[in-house]
Structure 1
């Protein structure tokens, strides 16, 4: 074992640290000095003894030198000047090793330097001590201004006012322990609360509560008289002691709550990418409300509100691997639709929405190893279902900690910001402010058109978006991988794959698609107001059976984005039958469940309004009927004889009916052709009379006569 000049040795028993100043050429003797003792002087020790103590762990070598600064103070010109002056005084004597370590010879050197440079003996000794204790280098003589002022040390209050004298104010008071106690109580009571009072308000509440000299009543209200200004702490003192005793973290947690602090105010020192070693290591899923209003495909006058957008993002590559756009609020159903889209062939998916792409532009159809989402959507039985079916590890972000899903959260801003300039009815920051335009009236896009726009923007993002903040590792730098999602995904597949999981698309969808109970009726398989049929139902005569024996329930899966089909789960749970809409249900074909429910809801509202209008008309009819009957009753009562008996009234009903019928014939007779108005009464042509030969023209011929007439007419035509 060797002993080196300038090494530090710690005495474990006495907690002292020594620096090796000098070793003779034969490696026999060495001079050491205590680096912390303010009156320390060099002393001599045997090298062999020192090494033995190191072997026996009585002395320990220290690697870190406490007097080697991390920042070079010599950059300050004043510090350089001070150092150079001190170095000039001692540089000749410290070169005279080992004489300078001997007490008598050192005294001679010190006296000579004092006389030559006109400085005191203690000053020369101080420079020597600093030089030796701090590493035997000129920079050891730099001044320690950073220790000036007693930073971090509290002053003991006396009778004299501390601090700079006030120019225009009274003298004030010193902040003693009692005053600091009042400060703490007031800050805890009035400032560090959820009420979020300002510090000035807390100060005034403190003055009112603890520095009241007297009180009086004015209009029945108790008011306090504060002490003289010279007996009060100032707001500046109050603020100083608050900043001194409370950290930003403590204050923010007390005023904002720990959840909000963790979400919006905590330090961010990590990176989400560090959690993922390759594509599929971790997906993040989240939903947001789109910043645009949409219209219905059924009727452009129907504004259907804002869409709910789900994104699934691969943490490693930032690739958007799945999406779902609907109208139902964030839920398990929406999340599962987005996950089902993850395993969908994206080329076919885009084609279904009228967009043709090469498969290489969106080569994603795999499930991840870990899925991070919200507690409300991926918690409980839903998460167990994913684990059991696909062995996906599900993680849930803590409440109010959307920042745990920072990557997918950022994509919402990126995608929507790109499409903002093109969107009518895009919601701006001034939405709902007084005088602001109602953006809902500008709605022009349907949910299908909005989906197409988002798909196109996702394709652009995945293939072209340069990730400025992505930190590439050494392997990526070596391979010169451009930080775009598609490049990172493809590079990761070649070099870091192993976490992606493949399952048949139909299998995944059957597990992830929402399930429901449909009813088999004689009119078809009824689900949410729509009727379907399938080959199995026809083969097994379900519909005639339902008409004769009654309906029953069956389990189905369905895709809310397209209700043209539902999927009947067979009893073996491993197969299914596809059910299609009946012919008279074609108005629902290609529509989303949200659109259909909106239509059915609107029609239900119309029926309800119509029923109300009908009810109003019926009520109006009752009023009209009552008025008519009341008038008729009054008129009849006035015209009816009171002397005729009941039997007389009822025995001539047949004759009276005949008379009434004959009298009504004139009113019911048809009068055809133009007739001039005349004041004379109309002539009545009598029937069944032989007084005139002309009357035979009006007689109705018999069937036999009509047949003879037709025959004679045909003969004449020949």
Structure 2
């Protein structure tokens, strides 16, 4: 305890028997004469006084006094270059007034009461100031640690902070008016307690975002609290009359006292709302990677609509709109571990493709787009322990099924809180910068379009495949060259690890901070491939206008059964990246791959969405073609009706048949006569008809109900005889 005693030590009494009852600072100590000089630390300090050094040490050893730390005043906590010049000048002037006393006298003599008085009187006469001014400077210098900056002006405490001003009678707050007039504007009102309460209530309207501006809040306050009379519902509000101007707080007073009543962050929070406050303005605590064990602990997934318009690979004049980019990021290393570029809006169907890409090998994926990489160039092909995602994409039975099926824990962000997965959100900005997407033909212009300017959509140049290749190459560059210094830990720095995503990933894998999690490929396909409805037909499995056949001949009997009994429904799984194949579940529930029945029907490099677009565009009937088709149908219907009407009229004029039986009896013979007439033999036709006329009446009278059958038989015999 005693060893800590030194010049400038601050001592605090803890026992009533101590001779001093307020904190004091030790100014001087001498072992030989066994004395110390102390000065009391108080608002109006008194002259230093002497105490025995041994006595002071006894007080410390008996715990009747303790050494404490004195907080440095605010006006002394400043750097030399931060002190205004006028403050430095005043400090230096004060120092020159007391310097001969502090530095020119022996401390053993200076703190003697009679000696100090004589020294102060002599110096006061020399510099031309009163003795009490020098005493104040000396006491302040000693009380605050015997340093020059203790003599700086203590202006932060000036003005009575927190103390309301009391204006003398006849005095008004504020400056005099700038414009002199015969009818001058009244000076500002001296606010009462009720006025300040009214201002607080009115300013709260602005703070809570219930009005647009402070001026509107001021107007509301005047209407509520400063009207001569109130109105009833039977009378219009324009009859309200305000009190005289001299009785109203002005807007300057309203804003001044409103700001004093509400903290600026309270105002910001109220104006922005809780959602935007939590997302954009709240204080940040911790980092996204806090609490993570290593690579693969947590992945974040999100999607965004890319700022570029694309065209069809089948016809470069067809604009197909803006693609949707899905990105999966490892939070620990900041490396992009999976992606998907499609045409379907942010949803589970697109997210599952990004996850499928994340959990599978990237070498073949890049090779499909003409990019040759090694496995170590993108070494991410396993499942995470946690997956952070949005509600819109992952909240549902289909998405939640990956929890029990693949062993992944979902961390679904609340609504309107993208900051819960800030790592993946910020990757989109980085990718936009690396691809320079806004400057690619077809990119969405960031400026406001001027009248007469060319529409940027007309400049669309890239296909979905070409844009996907750009994104893949950008991701590879990002993983290998974009640095994240804040992600490095002390062990990484000690080993000289680069702060790129792939370096941090590999370091975590090599040091055992990640557990590789893998699942059977069939299980991953079952959970993440798009499921749809197909039909078993005689020619194969029909799906989205295409026919597929299994690579196993065992299913031929199903196709034969479908031809005999009709189409059969079947569940199919397909990968939009590889439309040439679909998968069905075999009898043992394993995934059986089926391929196109006609490989040359579509481009194998096309995407599933592109094939669907092509089908729609091929089947599209333009307005001119539709009008021509309808016109032809109308004309055809009119022609048919005209022919029917003419035939009906001719039949009406023909001789009536003898009976219904007679009319229906000779269909075959009539058919033979008509066929003979069609061969160009009118004589045969005439003879046959004449013989029928001679025989039919006789037969009809002799055979009764079976006369038609008899006539038919005789007609056949007659035709044979004629031949």
Q: What is the TM-score with the length of structure 2 in the denominator?
A: 0.77
Q: CA deviation at 1:615?
A: 7.6
Q: Give SS of 2:392's match.
A: coil
Superposition pairs of residues 72-111 of structure 1, within 5 angstroms: 72=79, 75-94=83-102, 95-111=105-121
Aligned residue among 260, 264, 284 for 1:248:
264
Please say which of residues 550-559 and 147-156 is displaced more in the overlay.
Answer: 550-559
- In structure 2, the residue matched to 1:709 is none
- In structure 2, the residue matched to 1:33 is 39
Change (3 A) 1:212 1:630: farther
Superposition pairs of residues 230-241 of structure 1, within 5 angstroms: 230-241=246-257
Aligned residue among 328, 335, 352 for 2:368:
352
- In structure 2, the residue matched to 1:222 is 238
Please give the per-residue CA displacement for 1:220-242, whole angstroms capped at 9, x wherever unaligned.
87344444444433222222223
Superposition pairs of residues 69-218 of structure 1, within 5 angstroms: 69-72=76-79, 75-94=83-102, 95-156=105-166, 159=169, 160-168=171-179, 169-189=185-205, 191-194=206-209, 197-213=212-228
Structure 2 runs not aligned, ≥5 long: 180-184, 685-723
CA contact (8 A) 1:279 1:500 kept: no
Change (3 A) 1:358 1:522: same
Q: CA deviation at 1:305?
A: 1.9
Q: CA deviation at 1:129?
A: 1.7
CA contact (8 A) 1:203 1:238 kept: yes
Q: CA deviation at 1:589?
A: 4.4
Q: Give SS of 2:393's match.
A: coil
Partners in 1 of 2:35 and 2:163 — Cα distance? 43
Q: CA deviation at 1:455?
A: 1.4
- In structure 2, the residue matched to 1:5 is 7
Partners in 1 of 2:351 and 2:14 — Cα distance? 62
Change (3 A) 1:165 1:533: same
Q: CA deviation at 1:371?
A: 3.0
Partners in 2 of 1:223 and 1:262 — Cα distance? 44
CA contact (8 A) 2:293 2:514 kept: no
Please give the per-residue CA displacement for 1:543-570, whole angstroms capped at 9, x wherever unaligned.
3344556766555443222222223345
Please give the per-residue CA displacement for 1:371-397, whole angstroms capped at 9, x wherever unaligned.
322233344656654444454443333
Q: Does 1:304 align with 2:327?
A: no
Q: Give SS of 1:149's match.
A: coil
- In structure 2, the residue matched to 1:406 is 422
Please give the per-residue CA displacement for 1:603-655, whole angstroms capped at 9, x wherever unaligned.
6765999999878866776677778878998x889x979xx9x789999999x
Q: Does 1:19 align with 2:19?
A: no
Please give the per-residue CA displacement for 1:378-429, whole angstroms capped at 9, x wherever unaligned.
4465665444445444333332222333332232223234242663321113
Q: CA deviation at 1:286?
A: 1.2
- In structure 1, the residue matched to 2:471 is 454
Number of corresponding residues: 665
CA contact (8 A) 1:172 1:229 kept: no
Partners in 2 of 1:390 and 1:27 — Cα distance? 84
CA contact (8 A) 1:9 1:19 kept: yes
Partners in 2 of 1:162 and 1:220 — Cα distance? 36
Partners in 2 of 1:50 and 1:543 — Cα distance? 108
Superposition pairs of residues 526-605 of structure 1, within 5 angstroms: 526-536=542-552, 538=554, 541-547=557-563, 555-570=571-586, 575-583=590-598, 586-587=601-602, 589-601=604-616
Change (3 A) 1:36 1:381: farther
CA contact (8 A) 1:517 1:553 kept: yes
Partners in 2 of 1:532 and 1:424 — Cα distance? 38
Please give the per-residue CA displacement for 1:247-266, whole angstroms capped at 9, x wherever unaligned.
33222322221111222333
Q: Does 1:332 align with 2:348?
A: yes
Please give the per-residue CA displacement for 1:252-310, whole angstroms capped at 9, x wherever unaligned.
32222111122233345754455656543443221100112223334444432211101
Partners in 1 of 2:360 and 2:137 — Cα distance? 78
Q: Give SS of 1:66's match.
A: coil
Partners in 1 of 2:400 and 2:231 — Cα distance? 69
CA contact (8 A) 1:67 1:135 kept: no
Change (3 A) 1:122 1:220: closer
Please say which of residues 513-522 and 337-346 is displaced more in the overlay.
Answer: 513-522
CA contact (8 A) 1:462 1:485 kept: yes
Change (3 A) 1:194 1:172: closer
- In structure 1, the residue matched to 2:444 is 427
Please say which of residues 3-12 and 308-317 is displaced more in the overlay.
Answer: 3-12
- In structure 2, the residue matched to 1:677 is none
Q: CA deviation at 1:5?
A: 2.3
Please give the per-residue CA displacement for 1:184-219, whole angstroms capped at 9, x wherever unaligned.
222223x234455122232233334443457999x9
Change (3 A) 1:301 1:83: closer
Partners in 2 of 1:216 and 1:552 — Cα distance? 77
Q: Give SS of 2:220's match.
A: helix
Q: Give SS of 1:90's match.
A: helix
- In structure 1, the residue matched to 2:700 is none
Partners in 1 of 2:570 and 2:346 — Cα distance? 27
Q: What is the TM-score with the length of structure 1 in the denominator?
A: 0.77
Q: CA deviation at 1:325?
A: 0.7
Partners in 1 of 2:565 and 2:683 — Cα distance? 64
Q: Give SS of 1:563's match.
A: strand
CA contact (8 A) 1:284 1:315 kept: yes
- In structure 1, the residue matched to 2:692 is none
Partners in 2 of 1:564 and 1:652 — Cα distance? 65
Please give the per-residue CA displacement for 1:514-564, whole angstroms capped at 9, x wherever unaligned.
344544444433444543332456268333344556766555443222222
Partners in 1 of 2:196 and 2:117 — Cα distance? 52
- In structure 1, the residue matched to 2:695 is none
Partners in 2 of 1:111 and 1:545 — Cα distance? 124
Partners in 2 of 1:523 and 1:592 — Cα distance? 24
